[in-house]
Structure 1
Amino acid sequence: MMQLSFLGRGRPSVDGAMAGRMRTSLAEGAWVDHVSGWVKGHGAVFDHLRSTTRWQAHERPMYDRVVSVPRLMGRVPRDGPGHPVLTQIGRALSAQYGHPEWHVSLALYRDGRDSVAFHGDRMGDRRWDTVVAVVSLGEPRRFLIRRAGGGASMGWNVGWGDLLVMGGSCQATYEHAIPKCRRAGPRMAVMFRPVSVPEV
């Protein structure tokens, strides 16, 4: 059973001022903002999105075979109605980062076997100067970032309503991943990308 942090209970809301935001400056104009526990009442949001989203299981080619993508995916509103707090999140992100509208997509990591390998998001010609915001709901997982092409990584344990925003050249010069782990409860990533770039 998933154990919620204290702030996971109650009415869902966000702090539009993003008090407590911590910025990590990286090379080549890339940066990462982190706000711990940004979404209050995140447990209700997790439960609502998990039960109302028509989750999609994807496959991809790998060498000479087709394998299942180790996580479930969804988009709002295509695959479900979302949750009212997503509108609050979008407005807060717009106020802080300057993009008026957002594509919203979801990824459900059911347990520690679900993961995503190192990658940079496909952002078209905007990947050198854009933002990708990730709200993490459910149990914490390790979120890693490294220079594109390999090298040492740095990371954050994200879950329980945390916000992580990758900005500047991050999608072009860095890669991010959620690695597999031995034991983990379900985690959901709610991803916000500007509508000025293609959906992925």
Structure 2
Amino acid sequence: MNILTRQSHSDNLQLTLQQFNLPDANISLWPNWLTEPFSYNLQQQLVSQLSWAQDSIIMFGKPVKIPRQQVWMGDSHCRYRYSGTTFIPQPWHPAVRQLADNLSQFLQQPFNCVLLNLYADGQHHMGWHADNEPELGHDPVIASVSLGAARRFELKHRTQPWQLTLDLPSGSLLLMTGQCQRHWLHRLPKQSRINHCRLNLTFRYIEAVS
């Protein structure tokens, strides 16, 4: 792991960058990409203003409610299909659109859609998966912003005995690039002692089909 620091141009905070040396993946983490007050206010705004839904996915041929609430948001062409369900994007919320623009400028990477997941407490979770749907293209760039309760995030290599566990605090930015979605799985496990809400936004890019 390499740890670097640099000065933020926007808020004069010292941003810490942690880079992890992994086979078949590039993983970077900025634990304090957003300030605590901004993270708190943004979380409160989005939790109260978005149309959250506990969607169903197909497992073993049957619809199953996911153990969290979510919103799929983005440009109008950004339809997204996983686990047998097609998701139509909700229009951009102004605060999320601004966050996407800031993220694109910071990373020099375009983003035009985002999956927002709301975890009420530590019983809400997400199982092992990769963000490798065809719509996302070859070796997609996934940028994940966390708000609220700090949660444990786990990754494991598909074919080698490599694993990585990270704590994602409120305001953190996690970036997964390279061949990560081809060779690694990730999850947000249950944590019974967590009794506060966590909101996660994973920004992606989907090409418009002419």
Superimposed CA distance per residue, residues 115-168 of structure 1 (whole angstroms, 9 cap, x where no aligned partner): 111110134286653310110000011010110258453111113111111111
Listed as ranges, the matches of 1:128-147 within 5 Å are 128-147=138-157
What is the identity, as a one-letter code, of the residue corresponding to 1:49? L
What is the identity, as a one-letter code, of the residue corresponding to 1:82? H
In the alignment of these two chains, the number of paired residues is: 184
Measure, in 1, the Cα distance between the counterparts of 2:135 and 2:39.
34
**What secondary structure does 2:42 align onto?**
helix
**What secondary structure does 1:51 align onto?**
helix
**What secondary structure does 1:43 align onto?**
helix
What is the identity, as a one-letter code, of the residue corresponding to 1:193? R
**What secondary structure does 2:67 align onto?**
strand
Measure, in 2, the Cα distance between the counterparts of 1:196 and 1:18.
34
Q: Is the 8 A contact 1:15 1:38 kept in 2?
A: no
User: Given the alignment, which residue of 62, 65, 83 partners 1:68?
Assistant: 65
CA change 1:152–1:178 in 2 (3 A) is: same
Deviation at 1:104, TM superposition (A): 1.8
**What secondary structure does 1:56 align onto?**
coil
RMSD between superposed Cα atoms in Å: 2.9
What is the identity, as a one-letter code, of the residue corresponding to 2:171? G
CA change 1:47–1:87 in 2 (3 A) is: same
TM-score of the aligned structures, taking structure 1 as reference length: 0.79
CA change 1:135–1:15 in 2 (3 A) is: farther
**What secondary structure does 1:61 align onto?**
strand
What residue number does 1:20 align with? 16
**What secondary structure does 1:39 align onto?**
coil
Superimposed CA distance per residue, residues 164-192 of structure 1 (whole angstroms, 9 cap, x where no aligned partner): 11111111110110001112111011110
**Unaligned regions of 5+ residues in structure 1, if any?**
1-12
Superimposed CA distance per residue, residues 50-74 of structure 1 (whole angstroms, 9 cap, x where no aligned partner): 0011001112333375431101010
Listed as ranges, the matches of 1:43-192 within 5 Å are 43-63=40-60, 65-76=62-73, 78-79=89-90, 82-84=93-95, 86-124=96-134, 128-148=138-158, 151=161, 153-184=163-194, 185-192=196-203
Measure, in 2, the Cα distance between the counterparts of 1:139 and 1:105.
18
**Unaligned regions of 5+ residues in structure 2, if any?**
1-8, 75-88
